[in-house]
Structure 1
Amino acid sequence: MKNAISRFGKFLSGMVMPNIGAFIAWGFLTALFIEKGWFPNERLSSMVSPMLSYLLPILIAGQGGYMVAKERGRVIACIAVIGCICGSDYTMLMGAMVMGPLAGWVIKQFDNRVEEHIPAGFEMLVHNFSIGILGMLLAILGYYVIGPFMTAILTVLTAGVDFLVSHSLLPLVSIFIEPAKVLFLNNAINHGIFNPIGVSQAAEAGRSIMYMLETNPGPGLGVLLAYCLFCKDKTTRQSAPGAVVIHLLGGIHEIYFPYILMNPVIILAPIAGNFCAILFYTMTGTGLSGPASPGSIIAYMAMAPRDSVLTVFIGVVLAAAVSFVLSSVILKATSGNAQNLSEAQAKMQDMKAQAKGEAPAAIESAPVNAGDVHKIVFSCDAGMGSSAMGATKFHNRIKAERPELIVTNSSVDNVPADADIVVCQRVLTERARRSAPQAQIITIDNFLADPNLDTLYQTLTAAPAAKAAAPETTDELAAQDQGLVIQAEDIQLGLPSVDKETAIRAAGALLAKRGYVDADYADAMVEREKLVTTYMGMGVAIPHGTSEKKSTVKKSGVVMLQYPDGVDFGDEKAYLIFGIAGVGDAHLDLLAHVCEVLEDEEALEMMKKTPDIKFVLTHLQ
């Protein structure tokens, strides 16, 4: 049931999200020019009603038809939805969400059945008349059946909302909204229920509280601020400020879901925060002029009517404050039982995949031929948030070396046909393959910093001229990898426990002392650790530098630092830290070599404690 609702919500989102700009335009016209707006203007306000009654439903229906049957689906859906619009006194957003996909399905079925039976030369005649006739029939169906049926549904839903408001019960919806968001069911309730009712209310009163129920950034902000200040895990605490910016300004609420999954009892905090905000908005009669999407503080405040700017802002602050206080208390009381952030992010991705009826996909990266690549598309579920950020960051990174490359973003289900490479999260791999069978798929865990993105960057910027500039040096250094053997001078035993960064820098310092790298290579090792942990399990970590700092490697080498009492790498301890310096991709061979010599678990346990350097050398050489 949850999977079906989530897929339904995803489809609704796919119809609405590409048209959010039109909603915003209508919202601004309402906020600015109606009688109670910032700058009342009777002539300009005359555009409000036609946009609401005709433009928005037609756009939504057209997008729904396109998602089912491409361009022919868009045209027939726009024809058909006119019947719903004219057959009801309500704004037919819900009617458009039904009629659009239905019309697309009808024309798709017709095309499939007659495709091989159209006489040569009659294709255009059949195609045009089929859309015209079927569109007319669907418009009649919309006028007499779908429009009135949706009117009845909206009447019931509106009456329910009025009952909740009149009995001061509306804040109770927060009990369902916040858990639904974390379970990725928010699209179903927001686009399927709240926005259609909100549009009807805003058409009459110029504002609606329904736009504020799910999009308020305050509840999530409070959770993230609590993690910034009171989380005991250093890695998680350091990640929270960046999440605050993305959540509050970017409006990507998904960024805070892992922080709740780390410690599920914290869900009580945003529930309480949203409850207080909704109660405050109900008591003050506050509403927004149009939908605030995405749920950014910028969009939220932009949709505030002239006489409600302060109360809208106070509601956000109130929600954040309540959520922050409760989150802080819960964090202090339960932090010892919390998961780490990486586990929570993985759990969130698996939940997101399961909510769509998919199995989590394994990480894979297709081979990339740099000369054949002209367009790279970053794709996420909706194509509005994380993929846009990822595409922007990667474009800024690569534009100096490959200015001719097109780097853009899209939803994973609507990848452009001319995409050469699609970059997506691992749980979206199968959908990316179906959407872009012609493209090479690069799967990642994080759009902003991922080893596969580093590899893609290196592949796309590897220029033959650069390789030819110093062939002798490259060949000479690569030759030194043959028969690489760790020496006694590469090993330090019995070191006192330190923090992770200090241990990584100590490994970098030893690599520099042994002549393998320049002194600033240690900085690159620390930066690499921030991207993805180099802890491998079994008490072993293998810190190494970023690909950008390979020029600081003089020759390949491995050093080993032994910490008998361990060094904290997140929730795990590393007792053996192997510092790696590799020429080109030589460090991959070095890592494989280290793994091979550590297969003897009994010897590995001895190596973690022994003061005998000969024992260590015997097992590493």
Structure 2
Amino acid sequence: MSFSDAQAKAKANKNRTGAGFGTQVQRLGRFMSAMIMPNIGAFVAWGLITALFIEAGWVNKIAEGLNGAPNDGVMEWTATVAVLVGPMITYLLPLLIGYMGGKLVYETRGAVIGAVATMGVIVGSEVPMFLGAMIIGPFAAWCLKRLESTWQGKIKPGFEMLVDNFSLGILGGLLAVLGKMIIGPIVSQLVEWAGEGVDFLVENSLLPFASIVVEPAKILFLNNAINHGVFTPLGTAEAEETGKSLLFMIESNPGPGLGILLAFMLFGPRMLKAAAPSAAIIHFFGGIHEVYFPFVLAKPKLIAAAILGGMTGVLIGVMFNGGLVAPPSPGSIFAWIAFTPPGIGNFVVMFAQVILAATVSFFVAAMLLGFGREARREDAPEDDSAADASAASTTPATV
């Protein structure tokens, strides 16, 4: 190896392990990914239950199609199952994220206090507290780790469990109260500001730029607050005058999410690649957009793909007078078809909005994922460790 090659290799290693801004961002991204990825299956489970059993879900729609009218017996049964939807997204999923974030910092004890503190932010806000869980879970575990380090090795035998339980309980309770009093109201304020930003863009005919606000807000699970709190009232008023409204298509477009999930199917890390196909089906055909949000949270830079894809769909709608007659709920491709006004032109514009949005988000996400290069780097350490373990198991033990 030449001296210049050695210098280049040393510089590359320094960049990967140094304290530069880029390295810190990468570490933060990997940490966020580690909080989200183990819980992807839980999001898929919630998405399936939601897509199948809510009032506008597939079970009721199929029963209605077979009988030609709503089936009261089936709707009553699905309603008993659909009660799972709210508690799962409000409590279970944020608690899992807070638990995992705490575990990454301080193993089992960190996981426990992370879940306790997350409960505080959950009850402190009216929106799903995924962002709050990602903040307070690791923070609570870090606080506990620092606190217990002050007396580690100094407690008399027999008192360790007592001290450990009370330290976790007292600190966890304080952080839960802190989360309820501070983080919850902060997120509620963010929701209000997002709504005001969208209102400003709508009033000033800057609809394509609404995606700059809408898509990041969606990823933080504020989609229902924006859609039903802002777009549905404004769009309903417009549809009463003109027969359709483009506002119904801004948040509910399944194209950007589909493009991102397709990019993960082809170029994502192993774990996310395996979960992407089922998430794509639930998202596109079931209309449950929340199943792709964890994929973006795991790779936050992909928010750019969601924004550009959303802007593309809205721009097509503005240029060619797109719109729906009512708010699609859930936002599946079938709901979009059902609420498209009569006329071939309206259907052409609608499909163009979905297809082009998906295409743009796919190519942007693929570029941000390095067309698989980033996934190979992430998966390589696992492969190397597996190979090392295999070699170690086949190597004869020395005496």
TM-score computed with the length of structure 2 as normaliser:
0.56
RMSD between aligned residues: 5.2
Q: What letter is aligned with 1:124? A: M
After TM superposition, give the deviation of residue 138 of structure 1 in Å.
Answer: 0.8
SS at 2:222 equivalent: helix
- Is structure 2 residue 215 aligned with structure 1 residue 215? no
1:120-142 superposed Cα distances (whole Å, 9 cap, x missing partner): 12222222222111111111111
1:317 to 355, 368, 374: 355
1:154-195 superposed Cα distances (whole Å, 9 cap, x missing partner): 322343345446656453477899xxxxxxxxxxx86x8623
2:89 to 52, 68, 71: 52
Return the alpha-carbon distance in structure 1 between the equivalents of residues 57 and 36 of structure 2.
Answer: 26
1:195 to 213, 220, 228: 220
Return the alpha-carbon distance in structure 2 between the equivalents of residues 150 and 304 of structure 1.
Answer: 27
Return the alpha-carbon distance in structure 2 between the equivalents of residues 348 and 94 of structure 1.
Answer: 27
Matches within 5 A, 1:295-334: 304=332, 307-308=335-336, 315-319=353-357
Q: What letter is aligned with 1:126? A: V
Return the alpha-carbon distance in structure 2 between the equivalents of residues 29 and 250 of structure 1.
Answer: 13
After TM superposition, give the deviation of residue 84 of structure 1 in Å.
Answer: 1.3
Return the alpha-carbon distance in structure 2 between the equivalents of residues 249 and 89 of structure 1.
Answer: 31
Q: CA, structure 1 residues 81+251, in 2 after alignment: closer, same or farther (shift >3 Å)?
A: closer
SS at 1:114 equivalent: coil
RCO higher in 1 or 2 (8 Å CA, sep ≥ 6)?
2
Q: Please say if residues 81 and 99 of structure 1, whose CA atoms lie closer than 8 Å, have aligned partners that are also in contact.
A: yes
After TM superposition, give the deviation of residue 63 of structure 1 in Å.
Answer: 1.2
Q: CA, structure 1 residues 20+273, in 2 after alignment: closer, same or farther (shift >3 Å)?
A: closer
Q: In the alignment, what sits opposite 1:276?
A: 312
Q: Please say if residues 91 and 200 of structure 1, whose CA atoms lie closer than 8 Å, have aligned partners that are also in contact.
A: no
Q: In the alignment, what sits opposite 1:423?
A: 383
TM-score computed with the length of structure 1 as normaliser:
0.38
1:35 to 55, 70, 80: 55
Q: What letter is aligned with 1:11? A: F
- Is structure 2 residue 149 aligned with structure 1 residue 112? yes
Uncovered stretches (5+) of structure 1, i.e. residues with no partner? 178-188, 225-238, 240-244, 254-268, 290-302, 328-343, 353-377, 382-386, 391-411, 413-421, 425-435, 443-455, 464-621
Return the alpha-carbon distance in structure 1 between the equivalents of residues 112 and 276 of structure 2.
Answer: 38
Return the alpha-carbon distance in structure 1 between the equivalents of residues 56 and 369 of structure 2.
Answer: 45
After TM superposition, give the deviation of residue 111 of structure 1 in Å.
Answer: 2.5
Q: Please say if residues 259 and 361 of structure 2, whose CA atoms lie closer than 8 Å, have aligned partners that are also in contact.
A: no
Percent of aligned positions that are identical = 35
**Structure richer in helix, relative to its length:** 2
Q: In the alignment, what sits opposite 2:28?
A: 8
Q: What letter is aligned with 2:98? A: A
Q: In the alignment, what sits opposite 1:145?
A: 182
Q: CA, structure 1 residues 106+213, in 2 after alignment: closer, same or farther (shift >3 Å)?
A: farther
Q: CA, structure 1 residues 220+208, in 2 after alignment: closer, same or farther (shift >3 Å)?
A: same
After TM superposition, give the deviation of residue 247 of structure 1 in Å.
Answer: 13
After TM superposition, give the deviation of residue 36 of structure 1 in Å.
Answer: 2.6
Return the alpha-carbon distance in structure 2 between the equivalents of residues 98 and 211 of structure 1.
Answer: 29
1:548-592 superposed Cα distances (whole Å, 9 cap, x missing partner): xxxxxxxxxxxxxxxxxxxxxxxxxxxxxxxxxxxxxxxxxxxxx
Q: What letter is aligned with 1:194? A: I
Q: Please say if residues 96 and 115 of structure 2, whose CA atoms lie closer than 8 Å, have aligned partners that are also in contact.
A: yes
Q: Whose Rg is larger?
A: 1
SS at 2:220 equivalent: helix
SS at 2:383 equivalent: strand
Q: In the alignment, what sits opposite 1:395?
A: none
Q: CA, structure 1 residues 53+248, in 2 after alignment: closer, same or farther (shift >3 Å)?
A: closer
Matches within 5 A, 1:55-204: 55-164=92-201, 169=206, 171-172=208-209, 194-198=219-223, 200=225
Q: Please say if residues 254 and 354 of structure 2, whose CA atoms lie closer than 8 Å, have aligned partners that are also in contact.
A: no
Q: What letter is aligned with 1:195? A: L
**Structure richer in strand, relative to its length:** 1
Q: CA, structure 1 residues 323+6, in 2 after alignment: closer, same or farther (shift >3 Å)?
A: closer
Matches within 5 A, 1:187-586: 194-198=219-223, 200=225, 209=251, 212=254, 215-217=257-259, 275-279=311-315, 283-284=323-324, 289=330, 304=332, 307-308=335-336, 315-319=353-357, 381=378, 387=379, 422-423=382-383
Q: In the alignment, what sits opposite 1:18?
A: 38
1:37-59 superposed Cα distances (whole Å, 9 cap, x missing partner): 33253222222211121112111
